[in-house]
């Protein structure tokens, strides 16, 4: 068995704002494993400034993994604990290699085009009018769950935008989620959560920066609306440490990005621990290309969850891989496999 990799820089159609800055490009690496004419493909993608494996030796480690592909997935996964996105790329590639079709990793009603996955419509940060246009576009497109990134512009303006949605649509008609990406200070967070709760917000992701377990635990105990941990999960590899985090903080939800938490195996560990503590969860892409998004979507469908997932990122780029993934009426669907255009 041999393996190789290729870097691909994804270009955003328009600059996409978060509380950590504006994104114009996203780096990713495709993996190809092959043996006797059989192929498998995976994707290793990092988010600069967020991924725990955003390190100078990243590409060197990826090359090492490809050079040692003969060791097999189990051995490599163990040795690459500090590189969750490479773990995920290898999981993807090996599953692709053993599949009947290289991009049908988890055959199901989803890949058979029988069922779609409910997803949230993502609203990026920006000027008020830009955000308002996005909101209107998502509602027209049939989304009944909207997720708005907050924390980069004036909080009163953000409240005004959310209020505008809520005046037109009740919580039964449109579910509103917000993602602060750690933008709030602990001293002000509870007050801001109270204002958001008045608008029947479903949940808020990561209100304060990760790593403040005690402060986050207080927030989760006193919050007037559910809190979902996101960045808090990054870099926590040991199962006992994961369990400790959930027991101390006691969040209402956790959000799983396979590229950031060690792929399918890492996500499964978090899900099992969360289920034991009656903590809800959903799965989100980490701005992968359609290769990675496809794997995450198929994995997610197998979890039989009805809550909207964060899988609407496939149309963000000008140079994405052509794929069968399409969004219709707030659901992600898998179309004809012949629509794949991936070559490596």
Give the pLDDT confidence of 102-144 residue by residue, as tens digits. 999 999 999 999 999 999 998 887 777 887 888 889 989 999 9
Q: Is 276 exposed, middle or buried (0-12, 13-18, 19+ CB in 10 A)?
A: exposed
Distances (CA, A) of 344 to 3, 29, 93, 287, 333: 11, 11, 13, 20, 25
- Per-residue pLDDT tens digits for 137-149: 998 999 999 998 8
Catalytic residues, by residue number, are 149, 257
Domains defined along the chain, listed by start: 2-98 (3.30.390.10), 117-339 (3.20.20.120)
pLDDT-derived band at 344, boundaries 50, 70, 90: confident
Q: What share of the chain is helix, strand, coil (3-state, %, to 5)?
A: 40, 25, 35
Angle 115-120-126 from CA coordinates, rounded to 5°:
150
Nearest to 62 by CA among 80, 50, 81, 47: 80
- What's the confidence (pLDDT) of residue 49? 87
The DSSP code for 307 is S
pLDDT in tens, 219-274: 999 999 999 999 999 999 999 999 999 999 999 999 999 999 999 999 999 999 99
Read off the pLDDT of residues 15-35 as tens digits, 9 standing for 90 and up.
Answer: 776 656 678 899 999 999 999
In 3D space, the residue among 121, 135, 130 whose CA is nearest the CA of residue 152 turns out to be 130
Chain Cα centroid distance, residue 144 = 19
């Amino acid at each position: 068995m041999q393996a190789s990799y290729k870097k691909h820089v994804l270009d955003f159609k328009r600059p996409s704002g978060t509380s950590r800055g504006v994104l114009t490009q996203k780096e990713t690496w495709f993996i190809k494993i092959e043996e006797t004419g059989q192929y498998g493909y995976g994707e290793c993608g990092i988010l600069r400034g967020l991924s725990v494996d955003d390190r100078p030796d990243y590409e060197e480690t990826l090359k090492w993994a490809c050079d040692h592909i003969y060791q097999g997935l189990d051995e490599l996964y163990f040795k690459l604990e500090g590189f969750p996105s490479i773990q995920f790329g290898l999981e993807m590639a090996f599953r692709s290699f053993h599949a009947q079709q290289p991009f049908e990793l988890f055959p199901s009603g989803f890949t058979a085009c029988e069922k779609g996955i409910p997803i949230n419509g993502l609203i990026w940060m920006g000027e008020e009018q830009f955000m308002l246009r996005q909101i209107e576009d998502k509602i027209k497109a049939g989304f009944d769950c909207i997720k708005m990134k907050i924390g980069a512009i004036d909080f009163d303006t953000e409240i005004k935008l959310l209020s505008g949605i809520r005046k037109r649509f009740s919580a039964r008609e449109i579910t509103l989620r917000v993602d602060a990406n750690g933008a709030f200070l602990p001293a002000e967070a509870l007050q801001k959560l109270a204002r958001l709760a008045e608008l029947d917000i479903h949940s808020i992701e990561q209100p304060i920066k990760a790593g403040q377990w005690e402060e986050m635990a207080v927030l989760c105990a006193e919050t007037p609306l559910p809190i979902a941990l996101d960045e808090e999960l990054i870099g926590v590899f040991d199962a006992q440490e994961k369990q400790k985090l959930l027991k101390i903080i006691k969040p209402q939800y956790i959000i799983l990005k396979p590229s950031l938490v060690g792929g399918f195996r890492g996500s499964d560990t978090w899900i099992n621990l969360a289920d034991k503590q009656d903590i809800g969860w959903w799965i989100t892409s980490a701005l992968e290309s359609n290769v990675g998004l496809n794997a995450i979507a198929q994995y997610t469908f197998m979890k039989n969850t009805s809550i909207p997932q964060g899988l609407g990122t496939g149309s963000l780029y000008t140079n994405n891989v052509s794929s069968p993934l399409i969004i219709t009426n707030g659901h992600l669907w898998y179309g004809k496999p012949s629509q794949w255009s991936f070559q490596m």
